[in-house]
Structure 1
Amino acid sequence: MRTALAVVLVAVTGCGATVASVPEAVSPVTVVNCGREVTFDRVPSRVVTNDTGITEMMFALGLRDHMAGYVVDEGNAVDLETSPWKADFEQSARLADKISAEVVQGANADLVFAGWNYGFSESTGFTPDALRGLGIGTYQLTEACRNGVGKQRGIMPALEALYTDLRNLGKIFRVENRAEELVSGYQRQVEEAGRLTAGKPRPKVFLYDSGQDQPFTSGKNAAPSDIIGRAGGDNIFGDLNDSWTTVSWETVVERSPDVVLIVDYADAQASTAARKQAFLEGFAPLANSPAVKGKRFFSLPYAALVEGPRNPAAVEAFARYLAGLG
């Protein structure tokens, strides 16, 4: 289908904004998303995004004008305050705290960009199949693609998932050059960060998201595992073939982490990273772990630790922290 839509890309760089024209789309584009070919016969113009990392991918590509709005949970206030794309968030419509069919229909969406457990869920009935039945297209976050084992998620390392999504979105929105510029820059940043800890001992790192009865953490397929590994550490749950998942405190204690990386967002039991650290420091079973004894805690915003354009900077920040441990 021919589209008469003219698109303008605003690419934000550290030196200011640059503007580039994007050609009118004249032919369908097909990308592979979560193992399936998906064809777009026009450039989406009313996209609804769910979650901060997903939304920031659109902003990084200069696609704010293609969005009907975004959905971000109220617990992610730190993300919005610390975002390199804070101005884009402020100039875009925040549609709701929780995504639903009613929200995206109310926004007259032609595409929903979300992921399994990043908005899509059988328990709520908000799924790609359900949206297809409403005539609304979907693009799924690659970090959260299901891998064929039950509801386990993850089909590639998280940074590779980021590059895959940026390139796919570049094709869908006809901004391939901008996508390649971002990917090349991120790859250089990650490579340079890795040099900070090259040849140094690799500390065992426990990613603590939330949970006091049982901790919620990162298996090998969620972004923190790749970030930790590229920064010079080893995720203590890097043997779990899953994305974000719940484990037992007994296993955390047994694996004796040297460092704890805390996800800074408000959950049901702790509203700040400092409160999460205080809980861990006061949690008796962990008292003899090297991380607690050495007070080795580091925190990053939620948006830096889910797939998104803050991931490369997260690698650099954590690598600098680990390099400073001696």
Structure 2
Amino acid sequence: MRLLALFLVLATTACGATVAQDTSATDPVTVRNCGQDVTYDRVPGKVVTNDTGIAELMFALGLADRMAGYVIGGGQTADLATSPFKADWERVPKLGEKITKEVVQGAGADLVFAGWNYGFSESTGFTPDSLEELGIPTYQLTEACRNGVGKQRGIMPPLEALYEDLRNLGKVFRVSDRAERLITGYQAQVAAAEQLGAGRPKPKVFLYDSGLDQPFTAGRNAAPQDVIGKAGGVNVFGDLDDSWTTVGWETVVQRNPDVILINDYADGDANTPEQKRAFLESYAPLAAVPAVRDKRFFVLPYAALVESPRNPAAIEAFAKFLAG
């Protein structure tokens, strides 16, 4: 039987790198972001990010010096201990745990980088449109793009979303060479991980984020879809045209997962991976599910399971677990 494995996933790129940028460029740059052409008149120099994965996209591109600060919730603080970008987290100011107009205005932001339900929300009035009224440009995380069906999110496969954002940010910040080097490295890392599962049966995997009454999980447009699939498994909720969403426990039981991938994210009554596992093992309807019966659990940090530079390393770590 396998014991709970907590992998502190590290990216393969250099940490805290400062990249030469052509910040003197004055020509506007237009990129396609979430289905719309967006033009940026200058290289942003006071960026505010929301969420750990989004901040680490900036860090991976060597753009910490272009940031005014970051916002992360209390449930994400554990990510900093596992981050390959610790030096950047230490030198960029934390602005708070909840992003608001007041926070970004106080920081003098000239760009806000967030996503739907990754900071942007109609319920709070913090939206790209409301920031445009204040003269503050935005960039939306592609994983969290609205897909035109209610509030569902995701418009392309998760790794494609990662590469799209890296390329777009590379153009906006004039670091396209750096972006392409990252993408090439990530693609090679993912390809090598895929070989670990080649020719093997594909176990069914349930991503458990949080929730006791109803589980919060990942559909086909969230990063775990590719973390699971490229590692040699099958996401049991990969048929859902959404990124992160709520399902029912009865459906989890019906889909009978062989492995449960636990998100190390503090949200709700079970905050730690150990508490989440204890709940899963004690919840009677799951007792006969192979993953619980055979104690097949694996843990990854939150920042490895949302769109971020940690996705390729997460694929590699999970592939080794499945192949072991």
Of 166-175 and 262-271, the range deviating more from structure 2: 262-271
Map of 1:176 onto structure 2: 176
Distance 2:268 2:103 in 1: 24
In structure 1, the gaps of 5 or more residues are 1-11
RMSD: 1.3
Of 72-81 and 34-43, the range deviating more from structure 2: 72-81
- Letter paired with 2:260: V
Aligned residue-pair number: 313
Distance 2:14 2:32 in 1: 31
What pairs with 1:146-165 in structure 2 (closer than 5 Å)? 146-165=146-165
- Letter paired with 1:292: V
Asked if the contact 2:21/2:175 (under 8 Å) is kept, the reply is no
What pairs with 1:107-146 in structure 2 (closer than 5 Å)? 107-146=107-146
- Letter paired with 2:302: Y
Distance 2:221 2:197 in 1: 22
- Letter paired with 1:320: K
Distance 2:253 2:292 in 1: 11
Alpha-carbon displacement from aligned partner over 1:15-59 (angstroms, at most 9, x marks no partner) = 995753536213111000000000011000110000000000000
The answer as to 2:66 corresponding to 1:66 is yes
- Letter paired with 1:237: F
Indicate how the Cα distance of structure 1 residues 298 and 105 shifts in structure 2: closer, same or farther if over 3 A, else same. Answer: same
Q: After TM superposition, which residue ranges in structure 1, 4 or more long, deviate above 2 angstroms? A: 12-24
Indicate how the Cα distance of structure 1 residues 171 and 145 shifts in structure 2: closer, same or farther if over 3 A, else same. Answer: same
Asked if the contact 2:256/2:289 (under 8 Å) is kept, the reply is yes
Per the alignment, in what secondary structure is the counterpart of residue 240 of structure 2?
Answer: coil
Asked if the contact 2:263/2:305 (under 8 Å) is kept, the reply is yes
Identity of counterpart residues, as a percentage?
72
Map of 2:99 onto structure 1: 99
What pairs with 1:254-273 in structure 2 (closer than 5 Å)? 254-273=254-273
What pairs with 1:188-203 in structure 2 (closer than 5 Å)? 188-203=188-203
Distance 1:195 1:265 in 2: 29
Structure number with the bigger relative contact order (C-alpha 8 A, sep ≥ 6) is 2
Distance 1:215 1:301 in 2: 18
Distance 2:314 2:172 in 1: 27
Alpha-carbon displacement from aligned partner over 1:96-155 (angstroms, at most 9, x marks no partner) = 001011110110101000000000000110000000011100000000111111111110
- Letter paired with 2:30: T
- Letter paired with 1:235: N
Of 19-28 and 78-87, the range deviating more from structure 2: 19-28
Alpha-carbon displacement from aligned partner over 1:187-230 (angstroms, at most 9, x marks no partner) = 00000000001110000000000000000000111110111001
Per the alignment, in what secondary structure is the counterpart of residue 315 of structure 2?
Answer: helix
Distance 1:62 1:18 in 2: 5
Alpha-carbon displacement from aligned partner over 1:250-276 (angstroms, at most 9, x marks no partner) = 000000000000000211212211110
Of 14-23 and 111-120, the range deviating more from structure 2: 14-23
Per the alignment, in what secondary structure is the counterpart of residue 278 of structure 1?
Answer: helix
Per the alignment, in what secondary structure is the counterpart of residue 77 of structure 2?
Answer: helix
Of 226-235 and 18-27, the range deviating more from structure 2: 18-27
TM (norm. structure 1) is 0.94
Per the alignment, in what secondary structure is the counterpart of residue 205 of structure 2?
Answer: strand
Distance 2:16 2:277 in 1: 37
